[in-house]
Each structure stands twice: as structure tokens, then as C-alpha cells.
Amino acid sequence: MSSMYTKPHLVLPKIPHLDQIDVYVAHGGYEQMRKALRMAPDDVINEVKKSGLRGRGGAGFPTGLKWSFMPKGEMIKYLAVNGDESEPASFKDRQIFEYNPHQLIEGILIAGYAMGATVAYLYIRGEYHKWIRLMEKALSDAYARGFVGEKMKQTFNTNFSMDIYIHKGAGAYICGEETALMSSLEGDRAYPRVKPPFPAQRGLWGKPTTINNVETLAHVPAILALGADNYATIGAPGHVGTILYGISGHVKKPGVYEAETGTLLTDLIYQDIYAGGVRGDKKVKAVIPGGSSMPVLRGDEIDGVKMDEEFLKTIGTHIGTGGIVVMDEDTDIVKVTLRIAHFYHHESCGQCTPCREGCGWMEKMLKRIHSGDATVRDLDTLLSVASNIEGNTICALGDAAAWPVKAFLTKFRDEFEARVKPSRTFVPVNVVHGVRHQAQKFELVL
């Protein structure tokens, strides 16, 4: 038996056929669950706290701390595993489903034991048919081998057992928001809920629940195998470990690359072991560092940028899901902003006015800007609408919609200004009892 973890390949070790249970077990798979069971549950939580692991679902919340919020003692508690992965430019969790599903299952079991949760729901994006099938196969193999469910009591000689259910997502980005995910699991429309109460206080069916991302949980067996102290030395201080960076856009080799946190953005874009440079060796105009909702960087801002949350925060953006989008010098920035705004408008659940109305308003204005029918004043209105959505909604989809618009507009103001007119000629239309009356054409100077 050999340890499978050599940095930076902690979540996707470079072992052929690791998705097969025999191969996973032959490399020490499910041994970390055995190790966890020899520890007290709180010690497992402390180990994860000490490792410094932060959530990989977007917000970067410290994982051990989140687990410690769960109430202690015998009661029904749940773990919800977030595999909805519907943000544009995020496509890394599916790599785990495909290439290392048992490490995810083992991470779920360890998390369940640490928090006293005996049931886990693995919520996978509904459109991920292939990956749902692969996870179902891996889970049924794990059940058959006695690593999951009632039989694990004998396998691991323990009183603890856990059941894991795979749930197909309801086909909307909002289903990935943790409280919406709970509503969806309960069979309702995926409406986010106001917090507090937080899920650890009142989660699925009113019971204490923790929600973790797929990649977050896949790190847990590696932490136990390496030891928290060792794990904490990997990557950038303050945001340790490795990340599955999904690199897309105008690069030569788009794909998912596991690298340490704090890796230089330019290395990820240009090095041959990663994306291998920009197609046609063109210049970079813009880079989104962490999924479509994260504020963009201009091409002239990317030198020296380290890909970890603490560094990115200092330059006004975030690591998000680690989905990097590279845009070359020929990119139409206005069109990109419009496309992103269209997505968020389409995905707004409509509960809060600033998000429901604001996202539609932003998209409308961007359409006008894109078609050359807007004025300079529209740019300021657009910025003001985005600013009024931000921070004023039930869930973070509002922020996710506002941030990219604000960042693109601020950083590429010249490109937006080149598309608008100083004033607009328009024809006000009165609709009276269904009859359209056209008023006299006049020039409005703004």
C-alpha cells in the first residue's frame, strides 16, 4: 500500500484508474476513514481546523470552523454535498466525480463522523448525466464493499454508520446556493432562505445541516493522510492546500489543473504544464480569476498575481471557484459583460426586488450599449444599478450579478464609452387602450 498524496496532486492524484475501487483501496483508500474512527470526532474537527482548509465552493469559509458550528450530541444531523457547479467557467467538481470519486466518498464519511451526521445528500447538477452515472457506480461499489451504510460497522469495527444519497439537481444555478439547495432537496422550489438561522442551527427538514463543496470534502482524506501540520505548509499561508484551477477562454490548453494555492496566474496561463499560453500568441486583454461572478483583471494587471484568496483580496477580486477565464486582445468586452449579465438575469430566482429588477435592468442597458443605442449617462446609471443590487439581497447571487458588471465597466470604461453616444434621439410612445400614439420626434440632450 502506498500513499497517494504527492503535492500538488492531493485531490486528483496522478494514478491511472483511481476511479476504480480496487485501485483506490490498493493505494490506501478508505484507510483515512479508519484513522478518523480511532480519533474522537472533535479531534477530527480540530485536525481539519489546524490544516487551514477553506471551502472550495466560492466563499472560502474555514471548513473546520464550519463543522464546529454543528451542535453536539445524539440527534438527526445532515451533511449536504454541493456538486451543483453551475457557475459559468466552473467545471472542476466533475473531474473528481470522474477520476477520484472514492476520495470524495471517503471525505464525506470522515466529515459525517466528525459532525455526527449519519446521512449525506450528494446534490449533483442535473445536466451532469455522465457524472451522475459515474458517481452512482462508485457509490454502489463502496456500499457493496462495506465502506458505506450499515455494513461499515463491521468493516471498520465501529458503531458509526452513514448513508449517502445522490440527488439530481433541479437545473438552475441558484440550486447551488446553500439554502436554495436545501429547499430543492426538500422538494420545494430552490428559493434561498434568509440567514440566520444558519444551516447548522436549522437546516434540512429543520435539522442541523452542514453544506460543503465536493472539492472541499475531497481534501479531507489528504489532510488526515499527510497530517494537518504538513498540509498547512502547502500553498499560500492564509489559504493553504491545492486548488483545481479550471482554465478556459483563449488559451492553448483549456482544462483543469491542480496546483498549489498562491501559484502565479501568469504561470497558470503560460506554462506548458498548465494552459500553455494564449492562442495565436496574442496579448491578454482581461482575466476573470475565479468564475464568472468574480471581478475581472485587466491584462496589464496580471503580472505577479498570486492565485489565493488573501492575495486576490488585496487587488479587489476573489478566488471564487478557481475558474480562470482568459480573454485575448480581440475580445469584445461589452459583449462579454452583456453575456454575463444575461446569465445572472436569467438565473435570478426573483425573490428580491433589487436582484429581480436590477438584473433585468442591467441586461437591458447592456443590450443598448452593445447595439450602440445608449448614451454616456447610461453608463453611470448602469454602475448605480449594480451598486444598488450589491449587498441588498437575500443571497449572494445579487452580488455575483453586480460584481462583474461593475468591474468590467470600471476597468474597461474606454471600451464602453466608445460604444455610446453623447445624446440620444428617441420617440416617446404612449400606449392608450392598446393603440400606440407616436409623439413628435425630438432631440434629448443629456
Residue 176, interface with ligand SF4 (CB under 6 A)?
A: no
Residue 183 near which of ligand SF4, ligand FMN, none (CB within 5-8 Å, type-dependent): none
Task: Give yes or no for a cis peptide into 428 (omega within 30° of 0).
Answer: no
User: Per-residue x/- marks for ligand SF4, 386-425, CB under 6 A?
Assistant: -------xxx-xx---------------------------
**What is the number of residues in the chain?**
446
CB of 239 to ligand FMN, least distance (A): 12
How big is the site for ligand SF4, counted in residues (CB under 6 A)? Answer: 14
Dist. CA 77–CA 445, nearest whole Å? 62
Residue 355 near which of ligand SF4, ligand FMN, none (CB within 5-8 Å, type-dependent): ligand SF4
Binding part of the chain for ligand SF4, among 145-153, 298-306, 347-355, 364-372 by CB under 6 A, reads: 347-355
CB of 266 to ligand SF4, least distance (A): 34
Closer residue to ligand SF4 (CB): 176 or 241: 176
CB of 177 to ligand FMN, least distance (A): 4
Q: In 3-state terms, what secondary structure has residue 236?
A: strand
Footprint of ligand SF4 on residues 276-295 (CB under 6 A)? none
Task: Give yes or no for a cis peptide into 197 (omega within 30° of 0).
Answer: yes
Closer residue to ligand FMN (CB): 67 or 408: 67
CB of 125 to ligand SF4, least distance (A): 17
Closer residue to ligand SF4 (CB): 103 or 393: 393
Q: Are 275 and 253 in contact (CB under 8 A)?
A: yes
Cell of 411: 476597468
Residue 334, interface with ligand SF4 (CB under 6 A)?
A: no
Dist. CA 67–CA 268, nearest whole Å? 32
Among 206, 316, 350, 422, binds ligand SF4 (CB under 6 A): 350
- Torsion-angle region of 429 (φ positive above 0: left; ψ -120 to 50: alpha; else: beta): beta
CB of 56 to ligand FMN, least distance (A): 5
Footprint of ligand SF4 on residues 198-237 (CB under 6 A)? none
Q: Are 408 and 288 in contact (CB under 8 A)?
A: no
Cell of 404: 462583474
Dist. CA 243–CA 164, nearest whole Å? 25
Dist. CA 290–CA 54, nearest whole Å? 15
Residue 173 near which of ligand SF4, ligand FMN, none (CB within 5-8 Å, type-dependent): ligand FMN
CB of 94 to ligand SF4, least distance (A): 23
Question: 3-state DSSP helix/strand/coil percent for the chain, to nearest 5?
Answer: 40, 15, 40
Dist. CA 322–CA 342, nearest whole Å? 22
- Helices (H), ranges, 297-352: 309-314, 333-347
Residue 59 near which of ligand FMN, ligand SF4, none (CB within 5-8 Å, type-dependent): ligand FMN
CB of 75 to ligand FMN, least distance (A): 22
Closer residue to ligand FMN (CB): 124 or 251: 124
Residues that bind ligand FMN (CB under 6 A): 55-59, 61, 66, 82, 84-87, 173-174, 176-178, 211-213, 216, 395-397, 400
Cell of 84: 451543483
CB of 285 to ligand SF4, least distance (A): 30
Nearest CA to 23 among 96, 94, 134, 102? 102
Q: First and final CA of the chain: distance in angstroms?
A: 74
Spell out the SS3 assignment of 106-132: HHHHHHHHHHCCCEEEEEECCCCHHHH
CB of 241 to ligand SF4, least distance (A): 29
CB of 179 to ligand SF4, least distance (A): 9
Strand runs labelled E in 283-362: 284-288, 297-298, 323-328
Closer residue to ligand FMN (CB): 4 or 319: 319
Dist. CA 74–CA 300, nearest whole Å? 55
Residue 210 near which of ligand FMN, ligand SF4, none (CB within 5-8 Å, type-dependent): none
Nearest CA to 52 among 281, 229, 254? 229
Among 212, 242, 292, 348, binds ligand SF4 (CB under 6 A): 348
Footprint of ligand SF4 (CB under 6 A):
174, 192, 348-352, 355-356, 393-395, 397-398
